[in-house]
């Protein structure tokens, strides 16, 4: 990745690491979907790219039941530190961590049974080259699974807080984030086909994240995703902004539980045997 992208994630890693969960993610749905759809099984060696603070790597390692290993790769050591701490909390000894660019991986050819990447392939400039590099480190017959976000307007976790924060603070909502740049159906499939994968599939992943502690959910979201907007707010101003965001989420609350719709797309491809 270019220097600008690396600097961006190095800066964002501070808030992500500070708000990371300490064990299994309370919203583990996408992680379990990746495990199921990619057919990850005990005894396999898995490489997780753009691991961040540990999703889906933590869940994959837990599912292997100590029979198999997960290598976590991410650009930013601070993110990996958070993932490592989660692994230690859960006594997961089948994980290792490597700071690496997914465009140039420090691994030998034909090493892994599976490569996973949750919400990471949207950011490199040459996505086909990145997918081809994942194929290089896969064993013959191995498979790769990429997950990307669906359209912005179909993902309330992003547009609801952005619009609420912008409206409350009197600032611009801004353009659609690059995380949604691969939301069009077929985009992932084309990349995997062009990278040389076989039996390529692409499908939609939809579910509702059920949030019992809405206050904690909103507070974490503000501290993680709106650092610049909130860093100079007083406690009173921060609480006022939080109340505005809580109000914005009210249409999604059913019987005291926040039901947050999520929409992503999964692409799977196999390396030639």
Residue 16 confidence (pLDDT): 53
Among candidate residues 137, 141, 159, the one with its CA nearest the CA of residue 150: 159
Vertex 128 angle, CA 123 and 132, to 5°: 115
CATH 3.40.50.1980 assigned to 3-153+176-211+264-270: no
Give residue 27's pLDDT: 87
- Domains of the chain, by residue range, sit at 3-153+176-211+264-270
pLDDT confidence of residue 201: 97
What does the pLDDT look like over 225-267, one tens digit per residue? 999 999 999 999 999 999 999 999 999 999 999 999 999 999 9
pLDDT for 268: 98
Give residue for tokens 């990471």. 120
Left (φ > 0), alpha (ψ -120 to 50) or beta: where does 43 sit? left
What is the C-alpha separation between 9 and 18, in angstroms, rounded?
Answer: 14
DSSP-H helix ranges across 68-154: 77-89, 127-137
User: What band does 159 get if pLDDT is binned at 50, 70 and 90?
Assistant: very high
Q: Kindly report which listed range (42-46, 64-68, 108-112, 192-196) carries the lowest average pLDDT score.
A: 64-68
Q: What is the pLDDT of residue 129?
A: 98
Q: Report whether pLDDT(214) > 60.
A: yes
Give residue 20's pLDDT: 61
Using pLDDT thresholds of 50, 70 and 90, give the confidence band for residue 57.
Answer: very high
Tokens 């914005």 locate to: 248
Instruction: Report the distance separating Cα 138 and Cα 134, nearest Å.
Output: 7
CA-to-CA distance for 158 and 175, rounded, in angstroms?
12
């Amino acid at each position: 990745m270019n220097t600008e992208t690396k600097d961006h994630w190095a800066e964002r890693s501070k808030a992500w690491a500070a708000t990371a969960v300490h064990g299994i993610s309370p919203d583990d749905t996408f992680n379990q979907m990746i495990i199921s759809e990619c057919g990850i099984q005990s005894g396999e060696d898995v490489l997780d790219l753009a691991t961040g603070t540990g999703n889906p790597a933590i869940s994959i390692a837990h599912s292997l039941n100590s029979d198999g290993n997960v290598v976590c790769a991410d650009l930013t050591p601070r993110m990996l530190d958070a993932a490592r701490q989660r692994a230690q909390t859960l006594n997961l000894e089948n994980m290792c961590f490597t700071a690496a660019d997914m465009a140039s991986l420090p691994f030998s050819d034909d090493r892994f049974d599976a490569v996973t990447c949750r919400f990471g392939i949207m950011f490199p400039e040459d996505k086909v080259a990145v997918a081809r590099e994942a194929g290089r480190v896969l064993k013959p017959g191995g498979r790769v699974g990429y997950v990307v976000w669906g359209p912005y307007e179909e993902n309330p976790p992003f547009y609801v807080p952005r619009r609420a924060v912008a409206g409350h603070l009197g600032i611009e909502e801004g353009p659609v984030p690059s995380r949604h740049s691969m939301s069009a159906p077929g985009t992932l499939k084309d990349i995997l086909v062009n990278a040389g994968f076989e039996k390529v599939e692409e499908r939609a992943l939809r579910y509702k994240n059920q949030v019992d502690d809405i206050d904690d959910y909103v507070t974490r979201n503000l501290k993680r995703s709106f650092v610049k907007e909130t860093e100079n707010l007083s406690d009173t101003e921060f609480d006022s902004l939080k109340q505005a965001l809580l109000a914005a989420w009210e249409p999604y609350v059913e019987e005291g539980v926040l039901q947050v719709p999520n929409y992503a797309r999964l692409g799977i491809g196999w390396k030639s045997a």
